[in-house]
C-alpha cells in the first residue's frame, strides 16, 4: 500500500490566508447585507498600469501570428526581461548582478516555498517571529522542522528570532548557528525595515558562520526613507551568502498576473557546488517558465512610462498606509510600520488575542485584517492591516474602527 | 556550514532538452548559414487560435479597470475554468469528476514534477522505459531512486517497465509492487496507446496492490482511433487509484502561455487521508495560481468557436504526423506512433546509437530530433520526431532525410 508524506499531517490547520478566506466567506453568507472591507490579505486593488496593459495587448497579438508566436520560454526567462531587471534593480543601484544570475518565475511565493529544496534535508532554518507562513510551512512539508508544540505554537527544530516592539523588530543573532536564514525586508507582516548597517551585520554573520540568507525583498518598492537597502546586494559580501527573492505583485499589481524572480550569484557555493547550478537544474526539470505575455508585461514595468505610472500607484497605496497609521493612532492604538512598507502592525487591545480581535473587527466593523498569531507566536497580541485597499475603503475602515 | 541537497548531484548531465538546446545552439553558431528544422522538443509552432486571442484581449482589458481587475486567484483555480473542464473533459465522456476535484496549474510539467511531494520519501516508483525524463528526475531530486548505474543508465530503486516494439509498447506488470506508477498515454515518446481494456487492467492492478497511478494524458487531443481511452476515469475503479494530469500545451498551443490541471478524486485515500486534501494544502502553500488572463484563455478552449478552431489545429499537426510516418517508411525506416499522438518513434539504423543519430541528422540534414536514449535505456536505438513543426518544414525535413 502506498504511503503519504507524513510531514503534511504535522501542519496545524490550513494555510493562514485560506482560513481567513473561509471565515470571511461564512460571515458574508450569514450577513449578505454587510459591506466587508478587506485589509487582510496583501492583495492589490488598483488595475494594471496603462503601460502594462499596452504591453500585454501587444504580446497577445504576437501570440496570434505564426511569425511572432512564442512557445516554450528559455529556462531562466527571456533575456529582455532579465536584462531590464539587471539594469534597473541592480546596476542602477550600484550592485553587480548579471542577467544570467536572475531566474524569472511565476512569483515570489512559489520561489520562497521551493528554494529550500536545493538544501540538505537536515538544514537548520532560522526565521523571524512573526513571519510569512510559507517559509516555515514549506520546510515542514520537507520534514526539516521537528515536532510541533501546539502550546507554544513552535517547531522543535526551527530557530525563532522574535521581532517585537521591544527590540524595535530587529532580530538578534541566534545562539545556535542556522544553515538557512529567512529575512524579509521591508518586513511582512510588521512593516519594519533594517538599516543598511544592520543588514550588513547579517551578511557578515552569514559569511562568518557559513549560513545562507534567503532575502525576500518583495516590498522593496515601498521604501521611502534613506539608508534602507533596496537589495541585499548593496551589502559587501552578499554575493557569497545571499539569495534574493523579488516579486512584481506589490510594485506593479501582479498578484493575479504572476511574475517574480530569484537572484543567485554565481559565487554562492557549498564547497565547489554553485547553488546557481542547482537552482538552474530545478528550473529546467520542474518548471516551464512564466508566460511570454506576462514576461513582456514585466518588461513594461521598467519602461519610462511604466516606471512613472507605478510610482503613482505605490504613492496611492502609501497614502492609504499613512491614513491607517494616523487613523489607528487617533483611535488610541499602538502602531508601527506603514512608512517603508504597505503593512501596518498594531497592538490588539489588552486582554484580546489576535484571532479574537479578528472576529471582533469582522463582526463589529466588517473590516478584515490578519491576526498576528497567524504569523508566529510573537505575533500574538498584534494585528496586520494592509494599505492595498482603495482609498475610499481605507478611509471608511478607519472611520468604522474609530467608532467602535 | 550549510549543506546542499546531495540528490541533485546524482543527476547525470543536464535535463535532456537543455542538452539538446545547447547542442543545437553550438551547431547554429558554427553554421550560421544552415537552416535548422526543429522536430525535437515537443514545442508547437501554430499561433494561438482566434477565440483564444480574443479571450486574452478581453481579459487584459478587464485587468486594466478597477471594477474588473483580478488579484490573487482562488487556490484551486477559477470556477469558470474548472466547470468547463469538468463538463467537457469528463461529464461529456461519461466520467464523474467534480469541478472541485480539479486543480488548475501552470502546466503538466510542473504538476508531474511536484506530485511526488505528497507521497512518502521511500515510495517505490515504476516508470515505462522509455519515459518523459521529469518523472524520474523529480524523484531523483527527492532521494527516492537509489544509486545510478552509468553503465545501464538506470537507478537501483526504480522499477523500469520496458516498452519496445517487441511488446508493442505495452508495459507488463512489474514483479515488485510499486507504490506509484507513472503512465503516459497517448505516450511520450513512443506515440503508442493503450486500449481501454489494457488500461482497465492497470486500474485493477493498482486497486488490488494499493498503488497510485499518475496518469499523464497531455496528448489526449490527438487520439483518432476508437477504443483508446481519453481519460483514465473511463475505467471502472479509477477514482480510488488514479491521479490524472492534463495540459493545454498540445491541444491548444499553450507551451508559452502555460496552463494545465491535475485531477484528484476525493475517494483516493491512504487510510483515511485524502490525497485531494494534501494536494490542496500544497497548492495553498507553495503555489499562487495561474494568471487570470491565462485562465480566461483556457475557458475559451472550451467555447464552441475555440473547439472548432482547435480541432483544425490538431488536424494540422496530425497531417504532419502522417507525413513523417510515410516519409520515414518510404526512406526505409521502421516507425511507429503518429496515429493517436503527435510523436513518431523510429528505429535508428543498425550500429548507430541514438545520440550518434542525433548528431548525424543535425549535421547532415540539419534536422533536430530527440535521441531515444534520453528517455531511458530501452529508448536506445530509437529516435523521436514530433509533428509540431510547420507543414512546410515537416515536408522539407522528410525530403532531406530521404536524400541522406
- pLDDT tens readout for residues A246-295: 999 999 999 999 999 999 999 999 999 999 999 999 999 999 999 999 99
Contacting residues of A for B342, CB less than 8 Å apart: none
CA distance B44 to B93: 26
Ramachandran angles phi, psi of A113, nearest 5°: -80, -35
CA distance B171 to A64: 40
**Cβ <8 Å between B281 and A72:** no
**Cβ <8 Å between B120 and A270:** no
CA distance B371 to A90: 41
For residue B13, pLDDT beyond 80 = no
Contacting residues of B for A273, CB less than 8 Å apart: 4, 9
Q: Specify burial of residue A328 (Cβ count, 10 A radius: 0-12, 13-18, 19+).
A: buried
**Cβ <8 Å between B278 and A15:** no
Chain A from 111 to 140: CB within 8 A of any B CB: 113-114, 117-123, 133-134, 137-138
Q: Name the grid cell of A314.
A: 505605490
Q: Which of A2, A50, A256 sits opposite B72 (nearest CB)?
A: A256
For residue A176, pLDDT beyond 80 = yes
CA distance B330 to B324: 10
Per residue in A27-54, pLDDT (tens digit) is 999 999 999 999 988 899 999 999 999 9
Nearest to B127 by CA among B167, B159, B156: B159
What average pLDDT does chain B have?
Answer: 96
**Cβ <8 Å between B47 and A64:** yes
Specify the pLDDT at position A41. 83
Give the closest-approach CA distance of A166 to chain B in angstroms. Answer: 30
Per residue in A334-368, pLDDT (tens digit) is 999 999 999 999 999 999 999 999 999 999 999 99
Average of pLDDT values for B103-121? 98
For residue B75, pLDDT beyond 90 = no
Specify the pLDDT at position B18. 81
What average pLDDT does chain A have?
Answer: 96
Chain A from 356 to 385: CB within 8 A of any B CB: none
Binned at pLDDT 50, 70 and 90, residue B364 comes out as very high
Specify the pLDDT at position A18. 81
Give the closest-approach CA distance of A293 to chain B in angstroms. Answer: 7
For residue A15, pLDDT beyond 80 = no
**Cβ <8 Å between B293 and A118:** no
Phi-psi region of A112 (alpha: psi -120 to 50; beta: other; left: phi over 0): alpha
Binned at pLDDT 50, 70 and 90, residue B162 comes out as very high
Q: Specify burial of residue A92 (Cβ count, 10 A radius: 0-12, 13-18, 19+).
A: exposed
CA atoms within 13 A on the CB side of A75: 21
Contacting residues of B for A285, CB less than 8 Å apart: 15, 113, 133-134, 137-138, 141
Give the closest-approach CA distance of B286 to chain A in angstroms. Answer: 5
Q: Which residue of A has its CA nearest to B57?
A: A57
Contacting residues of A for B113, CB less than 8 Å apart: 285-287
Average of pLDDT values for A314-342? 97
Q: Name the grid cell of B335.
A: 516507425
Average of pLDDT values for B111-121? 98
Binned at pLDDT 50, 70 and 90, residue A75 comes out as confident
Chain B within 8 Å of A226 (Cβ-Cβ)?
no
Average of pLDDT values for B75-90? 97
Q: Which of A1, A179, A210 sits opposite B210 (nearest CB)?
A: A1
Sorted by sequence, the CB contacts under 8 Å of residue B29 that are 6+ apart come out as: none
CA distance A72 to B43: 7
Specify the pLDDT at position A351. 93
Chain A within 8 Å of B13 (Cβ-Cβ)?
no
Specify the pLDDT at position A172. 97
Binned at pLDDT 50, 70 and 90, residue A19 comes out as confident
Chain A from 25 to 54: CB within 8 A of any B CB: 41, 43-48, 50, 53
Chain B within 8 Å of A16 (Cβ-Cβ)?
no
**Cβ <8 Å between B48 and A57:** no
User: Per DSSP, what are the bridge partners of residue B3?
Assistant: none
Cα dihedral A117→A121→A127→A133 (10° resolution):
60
Contacting residues of A for B56, CB less than 8 Å apart: 60, 63, 293
Average of pLDDT values for B66-93? 97
Chain B from 302 to 361: CB within 8 A of any A CB: none
Contacting residues of A for B370, CB less than 8 Å apart: none
Contacting residues of B for A389, CB less than 8 Å apart: none
Q: Which domains does chain B have, with CATH numbers?
A: 9-48+305-402 (3.90.1150.10), 53-303 (3.40.640.10)
Of the listed ranges A2-16, A291-305, B40-54, B382-396, the least confidently predicted one is A2-16
Chain A within 8 Å of B4 (Cβ-Cβ)?
yes
Specify the pLDDT at position B35. 95
Binned at pLDDT 50, 70 and 90, residue A17 comes out as confident
Specify the pLDDT at position A16. 81
Q: Which of A44, A109, A134 sits opposite B71 (nearest CB)?
A: A44
For residue B131, pLDDT beyond 80 = yes
Per residue in B202-235, pLDDT (tens digit) is 999 999 999 999 999 999 999 999 999 999 999 9
Contacting residues of B for A293, CB less than 8 Å apart: 56, 257, 293
**Cβ <8 Å between A257 and B106:** no
Give the closest-approach CA distance of A223 to chain B in angstroms. Answer: 22
For residue B14, pLDDT beyond 80 = no
Specify the pLDDT at position A13. 73
Q: Do residues B325 and B344 make contact, with C-beta atoms less than 8 angstroms apart? A: yes
Chain A within 8 Å of B14 (Cβ-Cβ)?
yes
Q: Do residues A284 and A75 make contact, with C-beta atoms less than 8 angstroms apart? A: yes
Q: Do residues B75 and B288 make contact, with C-beta atoms less than 8 angstroms apart? A: no
Chain A within 8 Å of B274 (Cβ-Cβ)?
no
Q: Which of B5, B53, B212 sits opposite A64 (nearest CB)?
A: B53
For residue B353, pLDDT beyond 90 = yes
SS3 of B130, please? coil
Q: Name the grid cell of A168.
A: 524595535
Per residue in B302-343, pLDDT (tens digit) is 999 999 999 999 999 999 999 999 999 999 999 999 999 999
Of the listed ranges A103-107, A145-149, A306-310, B21-25, the least confidently predicted one is B21-25
**Cβ <8 Å between B287 and A109:** yes
Q: Specify burial of residue A80 (Cβ count, 10 A radius: 0-12, 13-18, 19+).
A: middle
Per residue in B264-293, pLDDT (tens digit) is 999 999 999 999 999 999 999 999 999 999
Q: Do residues B7 and B144 make contact, with C-beta atoms less than 8 angstroms apart? A: no
CA distance B230 to B93: 8
CA distance B174 to B159: 7
Average of pLDDT values for A179-185? 98
Give the closest-approach CA distance of A226 to chain B in angstroms. Answer: 31
Q: Are β-strands B102-105 and B260-263 bridged in parallel, bridged antiparallel, or unpaired? A: antiparallel
Ramachandran angles phi, psi of B129, nearest 5°: -135, 115
Q: Which helix (H) or strand (E) holds A129?
A: strand A125-129
What percentage of chain B reaches a pLDDT higher than 90?
Answer: 96
Average of pLDDT values for B340-366? 96
Asked whether the CA dihedral B100, B105, B110, B112 is positive or negative, the reply is positive
Chain B within 8 Å of A10 (Cβ-Cβ)?
no
Q: Name the grid cell of B331.
A: 526512406
DSSP B372: G
SS3 of A354, please? helix
**Cβ <8 Å between A64 and B50:** yes
SS3 of A47, please? coil
Contacting residues of B for A290, CB less than 8 Å apart: 258
**Cβ <8 Å between B2 and A65:** no
For residue B44, pLDDT beyond 90 = yes
Chain A from 178 to 217: CB within 8 A of any B CB: 179-180, 210-212
User: Per DSSP, what are the bridge partners of residue A127?
Assistant: A160, A182
Amino acid at each position: 500500500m502506498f504511503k503519504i508524506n507524513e510531514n503534511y499531517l504535522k501542519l496545524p490547520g490550513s494555510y493562514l490566508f485560506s482560513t481567513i478566506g473561509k471565515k470571511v466567506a461564512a460571515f458574508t453568507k450569514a450577513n449578505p447585507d454587510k459591506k466587508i472591507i478587506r485589509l487582510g490579505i496583501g492583495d492589490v486593488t488598483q488595475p494594471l498600469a496603462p503601460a502594462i496593459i499596452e504591453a500585454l495587448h501587444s504580446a497577445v497579438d504576437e501570440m496570434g501570428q505564426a511569425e511572432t508566436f512564442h512557445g516554450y520560454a528559455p529556462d531562466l526567462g527571456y533575456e529582455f526581461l532579465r536584462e531590464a531587471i539587471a539594469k534597473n534593480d541592480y546596476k542602477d543601484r550600484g550592485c553587480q548582478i548579471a542577467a544570467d544570475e536572475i531566474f524569472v518565475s511565476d512569483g515570489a511565493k512559489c520561489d520562497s516555498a521551493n528554494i529550500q529544496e536545493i538544501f540538505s534535508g537536515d538544514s537548520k532554518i532560522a526565521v523571524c517571529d512573526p513571519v510569512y507562513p510559507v517559509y516555515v510551512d514549506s520546510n515542514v512539508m520537507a520534514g526539516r522542522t521537528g515536532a510541533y508544540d501546539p502550546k507554544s505554537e513552535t517547531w522543535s527544530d526551527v530557530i525563532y528570532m522574535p521581532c517585537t516592539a521591544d527590540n524595535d523588530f530587529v532580530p538578534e543573532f541566534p545562539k545556535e548557528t542556522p544553515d538557512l536564514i529567512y529575512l524579509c525586508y521591508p518586513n511582512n507582516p510588521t512593516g519594519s525595515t533594517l538599516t543598511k548597517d544592520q543588514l550588513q551585520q547579517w551578511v557578515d554573520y552569514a559569511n562568518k558562520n557559513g549560513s545562507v540568507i534567503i532575502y525576500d525583498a518583495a516590498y522593496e518598492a515601498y521604501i521611502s526613507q534613506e539608508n534602507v537597502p533596496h537589495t541585499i546586494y548593496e551589502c559587501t559580501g552578499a554575493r557569497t551568502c545571499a539569495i534574493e527573492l523579488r516579486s512584481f505583485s506589490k510594485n506593479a499589481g501582479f498578484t493575479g498576473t504572476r511574475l517574480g524572480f530569484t537572484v543567485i550569484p554565481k559565487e554562492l557555493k557549498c564547497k565547489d557546488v554553485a547553488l546557481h547550478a542547482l537552482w538552474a537544474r530545478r528550473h529546467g526539470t520542474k518548471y516551464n517558465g512564466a508566460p511570454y505575455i506576462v514576461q513582456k508585461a514585466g518588461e513594461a514595468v521598467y519602461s519610462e512610462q511604466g516606471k512613472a505610472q507605478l510610482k503613482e500607484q505605490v504613492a496611492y497605496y502609501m497614502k492609504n498606509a499613512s491614513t491607517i497609521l494616523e487613523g489607528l493612532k487617533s483611535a488610541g492604538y499602538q502602531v508601527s510600520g506603514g512608512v517603508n512598507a504597505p503593512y501596518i502592525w498594531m497592538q490588539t487591545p489588552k486582554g484580546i488575542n489576535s484571532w479574537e480581535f479578528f472576529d471582533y473587527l469582522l463582526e463589529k466593523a466588517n473590516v478584515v485584517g490578519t491576526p498576528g498569531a497567524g504569523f508566529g507566536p510573537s505575533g500574538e497580541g498584534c494585528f496586520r492591516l494592509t494599505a492595498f485597499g482603495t482609498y475610499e475603503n481605507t478611509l471608511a475602515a478607519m472611520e468604522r474602527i474609530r467608532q467602535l
